[in-house]
Amino acid sequence: MARFGRALERRLPAIVVSPLFAASLFFVYGFILWTAYISLTRSGVMPNYEFDGLSQYVRLWETPRWYVAIRNLFVFSGLFISISMAIGILLAILLDQKVRIEGVIRTIYLYPMALSFIVTGTVWKWMLNPGLGLERLMHQAGFENFSFDWLVNSHYAIYTVVIAAVWQSSGYAMALFLAGLRSVDDEVLKAAAIDGAGLWRTYTGIVLPMLRPVFLSTVIILAHLAIKSFDLVIALTGGGPGYATDMPATFMYSFAFQRSELGVAAASATMMLMTVIAIIVPYLYSELRKTSG
Amino acid sequence: MSGRNTSGIVQRRGLHHSLMRAVLFAVLGVFCIYYLIPLLVMISTSLKSLTEIREGSLISLPKEFDFSAWEKAWNSACVGVRCNGLAPYMWNSVMMTVPAVAISTILGALNGYALTKWRFRGADTIFALMLFGAFIPFQVILLPMARVLGQLGLAGTIPGLILVHTVYGLAFTTLFFRNFFIGVSSGIIQAAKVDGAGFFGIFFRLVLPMSLPAIVVTVIWQFTQIWNDFLFGVAFTIGDSNPVTVALNNVVNTSTGVKEYNVDMAAAIIAALPTLAVYVVAGAWFVRGLSAGAVKG
């Protein structure tokens, strides 16, 4: 009995982990396989398990709306990532100049991250609405000809998503860079100061190059946010006007739950997953190699 | 010069230096305004009457405080066809968030502890495989999840959402605790093992009490994520069981009658209040969660 107890005790960690691991295998890998398989079938309103090759992918890439979604994803990610990075780096460097009320300022910069994208979308939708929002404000300020209808203009609506997303997430980029700056050894900075390097040269020539890993992880985090963006689009533009601000995430949702075209929805979800894998897996691999052992 | 000489940039005194400081604070101040304006607009709009909104401007302060929009957002705003306000949906979100946060945090703690302090064969591989779940775009699991919830009889229910959030939160909570436990010395645990303490004994008496920081970070992270979730809420619930984010979106996009911006804004603040409150009270922990969520080892 005692021997059995000890044997059980030795196995206990594995016994605790296995159901959780099994759940993860089922809900993550099992579900991915299901979706990937459905994307290779003729499924429409109901799943159909008969293999049909790549026909759903052909249909997907023949859908003009999918191209809009892909184009929007590129436009949105490019602007969102670069503007958030620029603001994040600027604010991190400024906050690193021994600002006494840094804590307060940091709190203000970062609070949007605590909000739901739905809340962010709701408030920006109100501020950017062409009737009573920003446009009216500018008219009252004397700029009678000021016109700002991006929210309802199918060419520009995607940029309103960028505006709101940058507002929400640039503080996050700031926090990541600030943490990076704080990890730079003081000796390096003192040496630069003794060499007579100015503020600009110290940062561009010495500090920022040392932060390359932070750059990489921030870009990846923001890219990951961008690919998943769904809530903000829904709350701000509803994907419209028409489907002008559709992104892969809203496209998939719409085809899965509104149009009931499971095959196309599964194919688009699989495309999203492959994009994320292409970005995340090499990164995770290098991160895990660094920390294990 | 003692302590942290943060920037280490030579402090030149004199005019040049004061000018630079002035520019520095001006820029920092402008960005404070930039981040705060939407919040102020939200609050001030929610306190205006519709007439004042139509006649005033976006950034003007309310002439007199009118709380009727708040009252309406809470009690009688229309979410789709039902006009009971946000109150029942706030309750839904509480019922969903509290158990999901608690369960995923406890399981993550156990999992992280087992994977780091009782290293068995394959522990690293198991962790890497589970971690992947934190990064998948959830679109890829929506369809099968909807079917499984249906088969379990949990479709459109709050317990169903609790299950979903627990399952997909587990990767994050495991990651947080694993990273924390890696930094905890194994010496004491080895000593406790030699003294004959078992897996759960060490966990409850030794490990859990010292992991308070990890618990706080994880709880705050999970709370914010789950409360703010929209995708699972909109995909897996209908009508009565919607969480507050979905209800808010429905309030804003209910397109019957006059657009009541003051009610929309009051509703948005109500939905944001719990996570904002947590942020104000425990901001530092929230930031730690953000950087831990960045998968830094």
| Interface ipTM | 0.88
Percent of chain A with pLDDT over 70: 98
A205-234: average pLDDT: 88
**Structural domain includes residue A23:** no
Q: Cβ–Cβ of B199/A9 closer than 8 Å?
A: yes
* Amino acid at residue number B221: W
Question: Bridge partners of A89?
Answer: none
**Structural domain includes residue A201:** yes
Residue B82 φ/ψ, nearest 5 degrees? -90, 135
Q: Report the C-alpha gap between A172 and A185 in whole angstroms.
A: 23
Model pLDDT, residue B10: 47
**Structural domain includes residue A208:** yes
* Other Cβ atoms within 10 Å of B213 Cβ, number: 11
Query: How high does pLDDT run on average in chain B?
Result: 86
pTM reported for the whole predicted model? 0.89
Of A76-90, A140-154, A158-172, B3-17, the range with the lowest mean pLDDT is B3-17
Residue pair B8/A190 in contact (Cβ under 8 Å)? The answer is: yes
**Structural domain includes residue A61:** no
Most confident of A279-288, B50-59, B165-174: B165-174
Comparing CB atoms, the residue among A98, A217, A262 nearest residue B7 is A98
Q: For chains A and B, what is the number of CB pairs under 8 angstroms?
A: 289
* Other Cβ atoms within 10 Å of B109 Cβ, number: 24
Q: Report the C-alpha gap between A265 and A269 in whole angstroms.
A: 6
Query: How high does pLDDT run on average in chain A?
Result: 88
Provide, as residue numbers in chain A, all residues whose Cβ is less than 8 Å from the Cβ of B36: 108
Question: Bridge partners of B79?
Answer: B82
Provide, as residue numbers in chain A, all residues whose Cβ is less than 8 Å from the Cβ of B224: 114
* Other Cβ atoms within 10 Å of B53 Cβ, number: 22
Residue B59's nearest CA partner among A146, A151, A127 is A127
A188-215: average pLDDT: 82
Provide, as residue numbers in chain B, all residues whose Cβ is less than 8 Å from the Cβ of A89: none
Domain with CATH 1.10.3720.10 in chain B: 87-293
Model pLDDT, residue A291: 59
* Amino acid at residue number B86: L
Mutate: best of A6, A28, A203, partner B, most B CBs <10 A: A28
Question: Which overall architecture, per CATH, does domain B87-293 show?
Answer: Orthogonal Bundle (1.10)
**Structural domain includes residue A109:** yes
Question: What angle separates helix B244-253 from helix A117-127, to the nearest 10 degrees?
Answer: 20
**Structural domain includes residue A171:** yes
CATH number, domain containing residue A258? 1.10.3720.10
Our count of domains for chain A comes to: 1
Residue pair A279/A102 in contact (Cβ under 8 Å)? The answer is: no
pLDDT exceeds cutoff 90 at B287: no
Domain ranges, residue A95: 69-291
pLDDT exceeds cutoff 70 at B8: no
**Structural domain includes residue A210:** yes
Model pLDDT, residue B195: 86
